Amino acid sequence: MEPDISVICDKDKLNDRGCVGVPDFVIEVVSKSSRKMDYTTKNPLYSDVGVREYWIVDPEKERTTIYYYEQDEAPMISLFIQTIQSGIYEGLEINISELLK
């Protein structure tokens, strides 16, 4: 059960086989076959194991659900046309609609 995109900032968590431990930031891109897993299985798993930030990018609904686990806040929902600011990486902003062009 690997994420579509993961960001690992601690080089000590990396070896020849990949990430040993938990990534800091995970992005899942929902497909019809992964919808249930991304929303109901992976979300609580990532929260429990220490992922700091989790985004669920949903092309069908053209929205991104953002979980800032470190801030212990309710999830935010952003439309693809909106720019999303990372909660853990200052200055990192992503506009999904711009990526899809």
Q: How many domains, in total, are found in the chain?
A: 1
Asked whether the beta carbons of 70 and 56 are under 8 A apart, the reply is: no
Looking at residue 39, what is its pLDDT? 84
What's the CATH code of the domain at 32?
A: 3.90.1570.10
Looking at residue 85, what is its pLDDT? 95
Give the mean pLDDT of the chain: 90
Cα(49)–Cα(33) distance, integer angstroms: 24
Compute, in degrees rounded to 10, the torsion defined by CA atoms 84, 45, 20, 69: 40
pLDDT in tens, 30-54: 998 888 888 888 888 888 888 899 9
Indicate the pLDDT class of residue 1, thresholds 50, 70 and 90: low
pTM of structure: 0.88
91: domain range? 5-99
